[in-house]
A and B are shown apart, each in its own frame.
Chain A
Amino acid sequence: MLSRRDFLQASFAASAIVGASGFGNWARLAAQQRLTQEQLLDFETTGNVTLVHLTDCHAHLKPVWFREPSINLGVGEAQGKPPHISGKKFLDTYGLEAGSPEAYALTSEDFVALAREYGRVGGFDRISTVLKSIRADRPDALFLDGGDTWHGSYTALKTAGQDMVNIMNALNPDAMTSHWEFTYGIDRVKEIVETLPFPFLGANIFDNEWNEPAYDSHAMFERGGVKVAVIGQAFPYLPIANPRWMFPNLSFGIREERMREVVDEVRADGAELVVLLSHNGFDVDRKMASQVEGIDVILSGHTHDALPEPVQVGKTLIIASGSHGKFVSRIDLDVRDGGVKGFKYRLIPIFSDVIQPDPEMTALVDAERAPFKAELEEVIGTTQSLLYRRGNFNGTWDDLICQALLEEREADIALSPGFRWGASILPGDPITREDIYSATSMSYPNAYRSEMTGELIHTILEDVADNLFNPDPYYQQGGDMVRVGGMGYTIDISKPIGSRITDMTLLKTGEKIDPAKSYVVSGWASVNEGTEGPPIYDLVEQYIKRKGSIEITPNTAVKTIAG
């Protein structure tokens, strides 16, 4: 039995029980343009149980460009700790070399130059190759899907998630959990779940009338002679961050006490390895690991973080596997005498030019896309600037969306939600309709136009800021700060709610925002039923078509005071 003290040592030490992590070995080889699939997949099979984690792919079936955030601030105990590090600090923390494939995969440093060198990432035909390779080593590896799988693309929206269900079924997962899945509405979720050949888990999903569990909390597996419990945890704040009216009879929440009960239940049933397949977000998972005893591994999703090593909290290993199909995680565990004796972990970057596509999966993906091929590929315009979304404040994709809202809806101020999904586009590249849907596809897309007082706009910004920067992770909803157009402000993330946001300025006049005055505001993704306005993807398409060529001046009117 590994003692608590053993596990408290650095993860390097813990992994050294069974051999050093594979991450890092291939970096210099790749820099010399000799990176091979064998090197990416190299893994000395260890122990008796293998877990494979894919999460937050947001229905991106084909390889994409994806720039990681250059700003990802942590607050409270998470300040300065992974995943709240970026850029050079990230490289230094993990001993990665600037310009290496790892630097390209995990940070935003020199993104455009490295993108041209190392190519696109992700693609389900490459993911299939990786899965087949792992299953060749370990035929009974557990493949677990962390959710945000059915949402995020043109084809997913048009088929109400069916394309992703078909593709995932072909990859044969052992279980999944959820978040955006519910934005197709409860009837559609029920319809799909009935057809799934694997469990759809959510220990924290309750019927809000009777306060009873609405979905299975966990599934038990036997792997390599080990009894494994996989517990699911859906995104806790679905009815707040997404439209409650789409699933009116469900309640979610963090429900720490419920998690404790389920862990105790599976342990009592003989589970020797307890895995939490989570859509909590990283900071919530870190707190949950410190509060709930008995979870061996948390496969963390929702906040789209990618970390090359597990974070250890007590005896719990937390794995963060990125988003958009850019990474697949493999963890091998040595489970004996009722406990984890060692592990080996690798975050496998899906470099699409290095990993061979699995032709069977290429054919399946292309078949799902075939009915929409012409619409997907239609070029709407070109961009002279890098378009990306990730980061705590404005990214250039949202600067573009905000500009489109300001002009198309003749507004003073634009608000664009702080989603973390949406791929990047390199400077000089065409913008296709598929690209627009990558950043805007959703089932409640209407771009409203309304009058709001300065006081209300302030309240909204404060409220969203507290969802992101509350020092207690259980009050964080994931996502980033709402993006603004036509307005600047200063944010001090260390302050409490109500006093973080100051110096709100209307950019077109340079005047301070007057709390009592009304402003015309346009935005999208309102959680209110019956919101009126054109769908955001149509509005953005119309704007790009009209402009032809897009050049973004990044919004520098948002100033940050960090800690």
Chain B
Amino acid sequence: MQMTRRDLFALAAGLAAAGLISLPADASTDAVEAAIKEFAGGMPETGGVDIGAPEIAENGNTVPIEVFADGAASIMILAAGNPNPGVGTFHFTEMSAESRASTRIRLAKTQDVVAVAKMADGSTKMARREVKVTIGGCGG
């Protein structure tokens, strides 16, 4: 049989591998940096933001992500390796029990997830975490 590109993802890997093979254009580092600067008004210092994510995505089409930054008024999430890096921004109010949010995002391939937090006093913080999107190995 002649494999189409689409069959191939499924065969080798399941959908999670799609991005690995189709190699979509990366968001350029510039685009990610521009988005961070626009949100934060500069490059924030690293630390003070937790990103919860699997080390390896079970399904690249729906990767559970949790972000937390104590006292944050808003947290922006970027998928640095997606063709379009913007994921969304969570806003918290004084009524929020804590500045924590979770969502599911699509990751086209192995990449960093970036979270940028803006505090009530206007200061900003940032974290990155790599999530691997893989074809899958063969366990013992």
Contact = CB atoms under 8 A, between A and B. Distances in A.
Looking at chain A's contact residues, the main secondary structure is loop
B140 A240 contact: no
Contact of A466 (B7, B134, B139): B134
11 contacts: A148-B140, A241-B138, A251-B64, A302-B139, A303-B140, A450-B1, A467-B134, A475-B55, A479-B138, A479-B139, A528-B14
B135 A459 contact: yes
B14 A211 contact: no
Contacts of B42: none
B56 A475 contact: yes
B58 to A, nearest CB: 4
Interface of A: 56, 148, 179, 208, 211, 235, 237-244, 251-254, 257, 281, 302-304, 323, 417-421, 448-452, 456, 459-460, 463-464, 466-468, 472, 474-475, 477-480, 482, 497, 518, 525-528, 531
Contact of B139 (A448, A451, A477): A477
B106 interface: no
B41 interface: no
A451 B54 CA distance: 32
A475 B129 CA distance: 13
A417 B13 CA distance: 13
Contacts of B31: none
Nearest to B135: A463
Contacts of A148: 140
A242 B140 CA distance: 10
Nearest to B17: A463
Contacts of A242: 139
Interface in B2-27: 2-3, 7-8, 10-14, 16-17, 20-21
B139 A237 contact: yes
Contacts of B91: none
B3 A451 contact: yes
Given A244-B58, A253-B55, A528-B10, A304 B140 contact: yes
Nearest to A470: B132
A279 B137 CA distance: 16
Interface string B115-140: 00000000000000000101111111
Contacts of B54: 253-254
A418 B20 contact: no
A482 B2 CA distance: 23
Contacts of B138: 241, 417-419, 464, 477, 479-480, 482, 525
Contact of B140 (A419, A459, A497): A419
A526 B17 CA distance: 13
B39 to A, nearest CB: 26
A448 B11 contact: yes
B3 A459 contact: no
B89 interface: no
Given A463-B135, A479-B140, A251 B58 contact: yes
B137 A253 contact: no
A252 B57 CA distance: 10
A479 B13 contact: no
B132 A478 contact: no
A211 B103 CA distance: 11
B139 A253 contact: no
A211 to B, nearest CB: 7
B56 A237 contact: yes
Nearest to B2: A451
Nearest to B102: A211
Interface string B47-61: 000001011101100
Contacts of B17: 463
Contact of A241 (B3, B20, B55, B136): B136
A56 B16 contact: no
A468 B136 CA distance: 11
A531 B3 CA distance: 13
A468 B140 contact: no
A485 to B, nearest CB: 16
Given A244-B58, A257-B52, A452 B136 contact: no
A6 to B, nearest CB: 33
B85 to A, nearest CB: 21
Contacts of A456: 8, 12, 21
A412 B135 CA distance: 22
Q: Sorted from nearest, which 8 A-B pairs have the closest CB atoms?
A: A467-B137, A417-B138, A420-B140, A241-B139, A477-B137, A239-B58, A463-B135, A240-B136
A302 B140 contact: yes
Contacts of A417: 138
Contacts of A252: 58
Contacts of A474: 55
Given A208-B58, A477-B138, 14 more contacts: A179-B139, A235-B139, A240-B56, A240-B137, A241-B137, A253-B54, A253-B58, A254-B55, A417-B138, A448-B11, A468-B137, A478-B139, A478-B140, A479-B140
A440 to B, nearest CB: 13
Given A253-B58, A456-B12, A475 B132 contact: yes
Contact of A421 (B11, B55, B140): B140
A452 to B, nearest CB: 6
A211, A243, A302, A528 — which one has the most chain B CB atoms within 10 A of its CB?
A: A528
Contact of B1 (A281, A449, A464): A449
A450 B7 CA distance: 10
B137 A244 contact: no
Nearest to A477: B137
A472 B14 CA distance: 24
A439 to B, nearest CB: 13
A303 B140 CA distance: 6
A451 B1 CA distance: 7
Nearest to A238: B139
Nearest to A242: B139
Contact of A479 (B10, B16, B58, B137): B137
Nearest to A466: B134
